[in-house]
């Protein structure tokens, strides 16, 4: 089972991205993970306020859910499941933890992808995608469709322990 992360703004453009991903990726069965990134609130009060509404509380519409259901029905052999994931915080280490926890195999983010904010805290996910170390599938839009897979290696510094002088 291949888990493909696709950035979403909860519009029909996201459904089209998923269809392009299915055409581009040659695997038998996939899980589609629609993903939206939010920045953390700027003030401490907003961050710690228990009554604060989550930024993703009202972004998903019934029409988008229905479109996802239709997509799954149209590609029932290829799509195992479709899910929606949100992340508050746009640091590379946090995103790598998200990738590991959700077992993401690849990210589908074509060159023609345009980020659309759905909330005042929405953040463009492309910078953290590039730092994730996960294969990013970019589709070149031209007369002939060409698939380019970009692999980014993340090098983490080694921890060196220095004994304390006694």
Q: State the total domains in the chain.
A: 1
Instruction: Please tell me the pTM assigned to this model.
Output: 0.77
Q: Which helix (H) or strand (E) holds 6?
A: strand 2-7
Over its C-alpha atoms, the chain yields an Rg (Å, rounded) of: 18
Residue 163 lies in a domain: no
- Predicted confidence band of residue 26 (pLDDT cuts 50, 70, 90): confident
Kindly report the average pLDDT of the chain as a whole number: 83
Q: Look up residue 105 and give its DSSP letter.
A: -
Domain containing residue 70: CATH number: 3.40.50.620
pLDDT at 10 over 70: yes
The predicted pLDDT at position 28 comes to 86
Asked which of 56-60, 61-65, 128-132 is least confident by mean pLDDT, the reply is: 56-60
Report the distance separating Cα 64 and Cα 17, nearest Å: 13
Give the mean model confidence (pLDDT) for residues 61-85: 93
Question: For residue 88, what are the domain limits?
Answer: 2-150
Give the mean model confidence (pLDDT) for residues 20-48: 86
- Predicted confidence band of residue 143 (pLDDT cuts 50, 70, 90): very low
Residue 161 lies in a domain: no
The predicted pLDDT at position 152 comes to 53
The predicted pLDDT at position 162 comes to 53
Residue 157 lies in a domain: no
Residue 160 lies in a domain: no
The predicted pLDDT at position 58 comes to 74
Give the mean model confidence (pLDDT) for residues 67-71: 95
Q: Tell me the C-alpha to C-alpha distance, in Å, between residue 23 and each of 19, 29, 121, 130.
A: 6, 12, 32, 22
Residue 164 lies in a domain: no
Q: Per residue, what are the HEC states of 23-68?
A: HHCCCCCEEEEEEEEECCCCCHHHHHCCCCCCCCCCCCCHHHHHHH
The predicted pLDDT at position 75 comes to 94
Residue 105 lies in a domain: yes
The predicted pLDDT at position 60 comes to 81
The predicted pLDDT at position 153 comes to 53
- Predicted confidence band of residue 96 (pLDDT cuts 50, 70, 90): very high
Tokens of 55: 């930024």
Report the distance separating Cα 68 and Cα 108, nearest Å: 17
């Amino acid at each position: 089972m291949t888990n493909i992360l696709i950035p979403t703004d909860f519009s029909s453009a996201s459904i089209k991205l998923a269809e392009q991903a299915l055409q581009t990726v040659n695997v038998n069965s996939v899980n589609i993970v629609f993903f939206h990134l939010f920045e953390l609130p700027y003030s401490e009060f907003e961050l710690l306020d228990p009554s604060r509404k989550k930024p993703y509380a009202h972004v998903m519409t019934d029409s988008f859910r229905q479109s996802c259901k239709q997509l799954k029905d149209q590609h029932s052999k290829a799509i195992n499941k479709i899910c929606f994931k949100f992340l508050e915080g746009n640091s590379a280490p946090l995103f790598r933890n998200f990738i590991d926890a959700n077992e993401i195999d690849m990210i589908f983010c074509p060159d023609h992808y345009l980020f659309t904010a759905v909330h005042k805290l929405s953040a463009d996910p492309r910078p953290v995608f590039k730092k994730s170390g996960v294969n990013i599938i970019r589709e070149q839009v031209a007369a002939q469709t060409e698939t380019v897979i970009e692999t980014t290696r993340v090098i983490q510094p080694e921890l060196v322990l220095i004994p304390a002088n006694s």
